[in-house]
Structure 1
Amino acid sequence: MGKGAKIARRTFLLGTATVAGGFAVGWYSLEQPYAFPLADELPRAITPLTAYVLVDARGVTLITPRAEMGQGATSVQAALLAEELDVAWDEIRTDPGPPAPAYYNAAIVAEGMPFAATDDGWQAGVARGFGKTVSKLMGLQITGGSSTVPDAYDRLRQAGATARAMLVAAAANRLGVAEDQLTTRAGAVVAPDGTALPYTELAPYARRVPRPRNVALKDPADWRLLGKPMQRLDIVAKSTGTARYGIDEWAKGMLHATVRTNPRRGGELNGFDASTAEAMRGVVKVVPLPGGAGVIADNTWRAMQAAQAIEFDWGPAAHPATTQALFDSIAGAFTDDAQDSRLKDDGDVEQALAQGADITAEYRVPFLAHAPLEPMTAFAWLTDRGLEIRAGTQIPRFAIDTAAELTGLPKDRIVLSALPMGGSFGRRLEDDFIAQAVLLARVVPGRPVKMTWTREEDMTHDFPRPAAIARGQGRVEGGRVAALDLSIAAPSVSASQMGRLGLNPLGADTAIVNGAWDQPLAIPHYRVTGYRAPETVPVSSWRSVGASGNAFFHECLLDELIHAAGADPLEERLRQCTHAPSRAVLEAVGEMSNWGSPLPEGAARGLAFCLSFGVPCAEVVEVRQTPRGLRIARAFAAADVGRVLDPVNIENQMHGGVIWGLGHAIGAALTYADGRPEQENFDTYPAMRITECPEIMVRALETGDTVRGIGEPTVPPAAPALANAIFAATGQRIRQMPLDREVRFA
């Protein structure tokens, strides 16, 4: 969060703004920018030029509106601004700012268009431009899809450069010196004679300077921060245990709460008996909620104990009750009526396979929970002045909309402070937990309430990554892959998730096939078809979304075909690859892993590639057979992000993605019985343990021409690289996850 107090409420922002000489500045990519957030409420002492840089007598505060979930979003946004503004890294204060349409994410809709990232044709360009326009018109302030860096790269640098230009102009007017004779350094404008005017001193003058347009940006060769190792702004707080998350929020007189709702998603509540709970020590109220009840008490433990004492009569789930029945529903979607997309259809697959396929296979991936370490939690405080919400959220403006509907308050009387999160992986793209906190706060007006889920509530009330089934076949000729036909059936993440936000996505759901249809391979006869399975369990985005399972389908089928052709997995992928950055990451991972060199007896390597979120990523996993089972010894990953802004954070994110992908591939699955998830805690839903973690080597390339994010792209290739390594070591093809159903891991 940086070195300053976060701007938690409008009153606090106004307090900082009343210092004489403050001013705010930012930049917008479209011609008609939104007004500066809080413009109508700011006193004359602060001039709302634009939205990202606040300078007052206390120093510089950088507005970083993309949510911090542990991925380093706050630091990278601050660095983009600070680089052009020329402020010292150790003097930066950051704040997420108020939820506002000015902070729309221009990249998130643009990247969801049904065009491959490698498609630079005019239609793709028009579609992406349309997506940016939609994002702006809707004011979509969303964090997700590895879009923070692509969205912020130009925007925030322009904001910093604009602020710097205004400060230089103010100094030039004050000193009577030409602007081109002035430089900036560490939060000050420096004159030729060495005189340094601090930004704080220049602020009263800068607010009178017209905002310049088309300011020049620094040459990357002159960067002080970007491209170099940076210490994340939150690293000290996290290392010393002083970082504050939503679960740490506190206010005088605060009450504590938790909830229990029907673990069978969509099931009714027939009734409950709370007499025992209401008589327990510290309980203030038991509150009926949709599908269950909440308990308000004087501390969290007592609230949770009382909630467990409530006797509920739950109704049945609104979806098939067992894992098998859910997969049967998905399998039934392989029909012409359920076809959702066919975005890849090269050559003549039917003709190529007319004489029979060399490989025919079915693959499956399970439902997966998000399971962030910090369970869902939110703070709500309803008074006669309005409603205050404090929560970790990726969709702050949607959360305000929901709160307005629940309370009847106008939106301008609802203030939401976006807090750092102890993980999300897509779970906090939902606002159900915030809605519950608001409902609880309504029954104790004037008292702040912090609502915290138990781990069991968090697991059983997730919106998981959907299960999916793929059916593939292919043919080889002359030692090469000649045909690949892949059909994928899955419920629609877009329809489920966007529907809960009140949006109605049109057209095909590309998430069903992303990470499969858009791969840069010149297979002569190549087809990928998506089938939309019925909505059953409500699902949502999970780290790398559809590509998380589709890379497993695509790369395992491709590996089977390459083996049938008698070709080398790396050489055949390189031969088929049509995209230079993708070839570069394949070559890099081959070099890193010493692909093709001899290995000790019982050891083997597996390779997989996936282009997702515009980032080509190739991974090699090395396994070794031991008396205790199969051991993942080493993993190698190479990805091309176009421009490395912080090599330390890139390395951390790549490591994290590999661990996330491998850990879930080994042993994670959300299974259903009697209409509810069977996994309720980490004892039955395991994450990768440190003793299981391999040595991981990563490399970030910069050959691409577009800046990309890295939070998700290293996840998809991990599982298929491991599965392909298992085949290389044992001769056993595993076509469903988790892999430990068929292999014992050491």
Structure 2
Amino acid sequence: MAIAGTISRRAFLLGSVAVAGGVAFGVYQYRQPYPNPLGASIGASVLNPYLIIDQRGVTIITPRAEMGQGVHSTLAALVAEELDVRWEDVRAEHGPASSAYFNQAVIAGTAPFAAFDESTAARFTREALGVASKFIGVQMTGGSSSAADAFDKMRMAGAAARLVLIEAAARRWGVPASSLRTADGQVINPANGAQFSYSELAVEAASITPPTEPTLKDRSQWRYLGKSMPRLDMPAKCTGTAQFGIDVRLPGMLYATVRANPRLGGALNSFDASEAKQAKGVKQVIDLGGAVAVVADNTWRAFQAAAKLKFDWGPAPYPASSEAIFAAIAAAFNGPVDDVPVNNGDVSLALASAQQVVRAEYQAPFLAHSTMEPMNAVAQLHNGQLEIWAGHQAPTIIRQQAAELAGLPIEKVHLHVQFLGGGFGRRLESDYILQAVKLAMALPGSPIKLTWTRSEDIQHDMYRPAAIARCQGVMGSAGVPLVVQMDIASPSVGRSFAARVGMPSVGPDRAITEGSAGQPYRIANYRVSGYDPGLQLPVGNWRSVGASFNSFFHESFLDELAVAGGVDPLAMRLQMTADFPVAQQVLNTVAAMANWQQPLPADRARGLALCLSFGTTVAQVIEVSQSAAGVRIDRVYCAADVGIALDPRNLEAQMSSAIIYGLSAAIMGEISFADGAVLQSNFHDYDALRMRQVPPIEVRILENGPTLSGAGEPGTPPSLPALANAIHALTGQRLRSLPLNKQVKFA
């Protein structure tokens, strides 16, 4: 860990790899690549950002935020597989903020086509967006895209490095490179048993031009990929030596916290800091423009003093109460359509001619991210350089915004990305880091550590938007829906986020309907429409974004149609997915796991849901029972098809985590408003499932999909409707609004 930390602070962020005899290796597939952020090693040229080999061994650069999802280990395995090194000799280090690490997959994933659509138009659009992603140059962890984006890039980095190392050895020995082999970080000459370590060859190898399209190992040759590998971050996390943003300590550090208008986006008319300034340990009280910071000699004293501030806050720029906000969302149905991503058949005619139409309205509330590590950042402005230490999911965006705020050239801004104590999309935002930068500008020379209180965190989030769905459907005689129409109104995450990061937002926002649209079902008359109420209330990316509420709407309504038609929910879905073999396999697998056809006692029931999100098809069955203490979740069964399972155990952990996150939201998650302010403030009133409430979760990972797909988010969406459908099967009560604990008592 010591060498990795040294590289991070001095080499990556200052633009050079200051490790004696060190070399950065890799392959970059574009003709005009971004400058390598690792700079130049002593006595050697640099080829690519993904790999450093020095006298101490191998450090693999994993440029996606490690927030507990295991991405550093999975990405490191991609390089290690092709490089041919021992796993125990590998170190992983977060890359610097650089467009060289742009996320191609997350941009390509915005193509306006269903994930299963492999038409020429869909492929062409995804490829075009992939090319455009290079010019956008955003380094981002999100959209369950990390493994898919890195799958080719990082394997090629390892393969190219291995080939130039072999060539370097061949030149030393004066033998053909084809006569040599590699094993466990050594180049070996089979003719005489001679060998060189990679470290011995690193400098010479850096002068050799790597191949641009190295041959990659066949899957049958994989040593690490496809297997459950020990996580590289676990030793430090288990021993308490891992450094999260909140752990950063620097000489001469001052500590701060902030208070901002509880009416989000409202003005700060005035404030009185006289009492706060007299509090013990307080150094300064600083007006940040829209928020006020207290700077003290430790965080607790800053918290205590901030509680003594008195404010005159301006009103909120949105309706003041939850009731009024939902009324504004509902009013969007009377306005223009934002998007119609699905429109098959003639829905209007089919509805008009139907004798029996099933109608339902669903509602989902705003949700906070509630990461275990509250928002925090350290910033220091000294000698014309701005340094930032923080956990963040989009380093290039932060670096650009910080440079603009501080009035510095971007090369003078250095971001040290730390481990994240939870992200879920919240740490795609820049608010807390830019506040720290403002404090560093106000107090140049001193490192300033800004930490939000939990209440500030809960009450100043960029929330998962609330949503309303109005559904109409007709069951056909063949046991499948003849008509489904879904109208969904929800504030636009895309437009809200784009405005905060200074990006243009054009066209419809597919997040409003994702998880309802683009599902692997054939319905003869099928229309999904999205409506944006245009509320000036900050909403953002939350684990699985729009699919988190749309799957609840879509799969709950399909369950209603199955009940109305007197058909088995599984049998109905199997008919509807007949053209989608991946979905069929997922449904059949989860049904077998749960013994779906086996009848249950009267006090037990099951619910089923399917959702395709972020390229991954997931089906879940949740089994519940009635007890004296209330409804109990007894077991969750989950089948997920990720195309290629790089690390099965980690994928299972990701699905389990996503299920717990989804069930917490389903049962108790709600952010509500009064007088323009969020009412919830901490875990006592914005809770999550406790350990005693978490049911056994069984996960089966499948690999039938055509491409590698994501795992961080797709487990969340189906958990909500599967639970609601199970409760209906148990009690006969159809639950159409979240959270469910407003209508049902849970054990």
TM-score (norm 2): 0.97
Write out per-residue CA displacement over residues 537-586 of structure 1, whole angstroms, 9 at most, x where no aligned residue. 11000000000000000001111001111111111101110211111100
| 1:484 counterpart residue number | 484
Change (3 A) 1:356 1:259: farther
Q: Quick one: structure 1 residues 560 and 18, their matched pair in 2 at CA, closer, same or farther if it must change by over 3 Å? A: closer
Residue correspondence of structure 1 range 363-402 to structure 2 within 5 A:
363-402=362-401
Is residue 565 of structure 2 the alignment partner of residue 538 of structure 1? no
Q: Secondary structure at the match of 2:468?
A: strand
Secondary structure in 1 matching 2:556: helix
- Cα distance in 2 for partners of 1:509, 1:17 equals 42
Corresponding residue SS for 1:353: helix
Taking the aligned partners of 2:530 and 2:184, their CA distance within structure 1 comes to 53
Q: Which amino acid aligns with 2:258?
A: V
Measure how far apart 1:535 and its partner are.
2.2
User: Could you tell me how far 1:214 is from its partner in structure 2?
Assistant: 1.3
1:348-359 correspondence runs (5 A):
348-354=346-352, 355-359=354-358
Q: Which region of structure 1 is more displaced relative to structure 2, 129-138 or 490-499?
A: 129-138
Which residue in the other structure is 1:443 paired with?
442
Measure how far apart 1:510 and its partner are.
0.5
Output one character per residue of 1:585-619: Cα deviation in whole Å (capped at 9) or x when no partner: 00100000000202123100000000000111000
- In structure 2, the residue matched to 1:307 is 306
Check whether the contact 1:338–1:531 (CA below 8 A) recurs between aligned residues.
yes
Residue number in structure 2 paired with 1:718: 719
Answer whether contact 1:474 1:484 (CA < 8 A) is retained: yes
Q: Counterpart of 2:507 in structure 1: which amino acid? A: G
Q: 1:29 to 1:560 in 2, by over 3 A?
A: farther
Contact 1:182 1:189 in 2 (8 A): yes
The 2-side partners of 1:600 and 1:176 are apart by 77
Q: Is contact 2:91–2:232 with CA below 8 Å preserved after alignment?
A: no
Range moving further from structure 2, 137-146 or 346-355: 346-355
Partners of 1:142 and 1:4 in 2: CA distance: 21
Matched, 1:558 2:558: yes
Which deviations, in whole Å up to 9, do the C-alpha atoms of 1:117-142 show, x marking residues without a partner? 01111111121112112210011111
Tell me, what secondary structure is at the counterpart of 2:693?
A: coil
Q: Which residues in structure 2 correspond to 1:689-728 (within 5 Å)?
A: 689-728=690-729
Q: Which residue of 2 aligns with 1:126?
A: 124
Q: How far is 1:705 from its partner?
A: 1.3
Mapping of residues 9-408 of structure 1, within 5 Å: 9-11=9-11, 17-39=17-39, 42=40, 44-192=42-190, 193-335=192-334, 337-354=335-352, 355-408=354-407
Inter-partner Cα distance in structure 1 for 2:131 and 2:394: 19
Separation in 2 of the partners of 1:167 and 1:298? 52
Q: Specify the code of the residue in structure 1 equivalent to 2:217.
A: K
**Does structure 2 retain, via aligned residues, the 8 Å contact 1:10–1:415?**
no
- Residue 588 of structure 1 is matched in structure 2 by 589
Instruction: Report Cα offsets for 1:199-236 as digits up to 9, x if no partner.
Output: 11001210121211211101111111111111111112
Contact 1:661 1:716 in 2 (8 A): yes
What code does the residue aligned with 1:59 have?
A: G
Distance 1:97 1:614 in 2: 26
Tell whether 2:570 aligns with 1:570.
Answer: yes
Q: Identical aligned pairs, as a percentage? A: 50
The letter of the residue matching 2:404 is: E
Distance 1:21 1:187 in 2: 16
Following TM superposition, by how much is the alpha carbon of 1:13 offset from its aligned partner in structure 2, in angstroms? 6.7
- Unpaired runs of 5+ residues, structure 2, are none
Moved more, 618-627 or 522-531: 522-531
367 and 19 in structure 1: CA distance in 2 versus 1, 3 angstrom threshold: closer
Distance between the aligned counterparts of 2:157 and 2:322, measured in 1?
50
- Give 1:642's aligned residue: 643
Is 2:686 the counterpart of 1:685? Answer: yes
Q: How does 1:454-533 map to 2 (within 5 A)?
A: 454-478=453-477, 479-533=479-533
Cα deviation for residue 11 of structure 1 reads 4.6
* Structure 2 counterpart SS, 1:422: coil
**Do structure 1's residue 657 and structure 2's residue 646 form an aligned pair?**
no
CA distance in 2, matches of 1:722, 1:574: 20
Q: Residues of 1 paired with 2:121 and 2:694: CA distance?
A: 44
Which whole-Å CA distance do the structure 2 matches of 1:597 and 1:43 have between them? 65
Cα displacement string for residues 26-79 of structure 1 (whole angstroms, at most 9, x for unaligned residues)? 23343432221254xx35523111211111222211111111111111111111
Relative to 1, partners in 2 of residues 1:323 and 1:112: Cα closer, same or farther, differing over 3 Å? same
How far residue 465 of structure 1 moved from its aligned partner, in angstroms, is 0.3
Task: Find out whether 1:549 has 2:549 as its counterpart.
Answer: yes
Q: Distance in 2 between matches of 1:424 and 1:676?
A: 23
The answer to whether the 8 A contact 2:515-2:550 is kept is: yes
Structure 1 unpaired stretches of 5+: none
Shift in Å at residue 181 of structure 1? 2.2
Q: Residue 511 of structure 1 aligns to which amino acid in structure 2? A: A
SS at 1:9's partner residue? helix
Using the TM superposition, name which of 220-229 and 8-17 deviates more: 8-17
Amino acid across the alignment from 2:43 = A
| Cα 1:470/1:15, change in 2 over 3 Å | closer
Answer with 64-73 or 540-549: which moved more.
Answer: 64-73
Structure 1 residue 195 displacement after superposition: 2.3
Find the aligned partners of 2:203 and 2:662 in 1 and give their Cα distance: 52
| SS, match of residue 373 in structure 1 | coil
Distance 1:469 1:586 in 2: 27
Query: Which residue in the other structure is 2:630 paired with?
Result: 629
**AA paired with 2:598?**
S
Measure the CA separation in 2 of the matches of 1:676 and 1:730: 36
Q: Is the 8 A contact 1:21 1:205 kept in 2?
A: no
1:276: Cα distance to partner? 1.1
- Residues of 1 paired with 2:17 and 2:542: CA distance? 39
In the TM superposition, residue 356 of structure 1 has moved relative to its aligned partner by 4.6
The superposition leaves residues 373-403 of structure 1 with CA deviations (integer Å, 9 ceiling, x where unpaired) of 0000001011124111011111111111121
Give the superposition deviation at 1:176. Answer: 2.1
Counterparts in 2 of 1:18 and 1:246: CA distance versus 1, 3 Å? closer
- Give deviations 1:433-460, integer Å, cap 9, x for gaps: 0000011111221111111000000001
C-alpha distance in 1, partners of 2:738/2:495? 25
The residue type equivalent to 1:673 in the other structure is: A
Q: 2:21·2:42 contact (CA, 8 Å) conserved in 1?
A: no
| Deviation (angstroms), 1:699 | 0.5
Q: In terms of mean alpha carbon deviation, does 80-89 or 665-674 score higher?
A: 80-89
Matching residue's letter, 1:54: I
* Residues 13 and 414, structure 2, Cα contact 8 Å, conserved in 1: no
SS of the equivalent of 1:24 reads strand
Describe the shift of the 1:15–1:466 C-alpha distance in structure 2 as closer, same or farther (beyond 3 A): closer
Deviates more, 1:292-301 or 1:28-37: 28-37
Q: Does the CA contact (< 8 Å) of 2:329 and 2:489 recur in 1?
A: yes
* One-letter code aligned to 1:177: V
> d(CA) in 2 for partners of 1:607 and 1:310?
51
Question: Could you tell which deviates more after superposition, 56-65 or 650-659?
Answer: 56-65
> Which amino acid is 2:628 matched to?
P
Q: Deviations over 1:275-331 (max 9, x none)?
A: 111111111111001222101111100111111111111111111110011100100
2:676 is matched with: 675
Whole-Å separation in 2 of the counterparts to 1:721 and 1:535: 30
Please say if residues 18 and 45 of structure 1, whose CA atoms lie closer than 8 Å, have aligned partners that are also in contact: no
State the superposition RMSD in angstroms: 1.5
CA distance in 2, matches of 1:12, 1:639: 37
| Aligned residue-pair number | 743
Does the aligned pair in 2 maintain the 1:3–1:91 contact within 8 Å? no
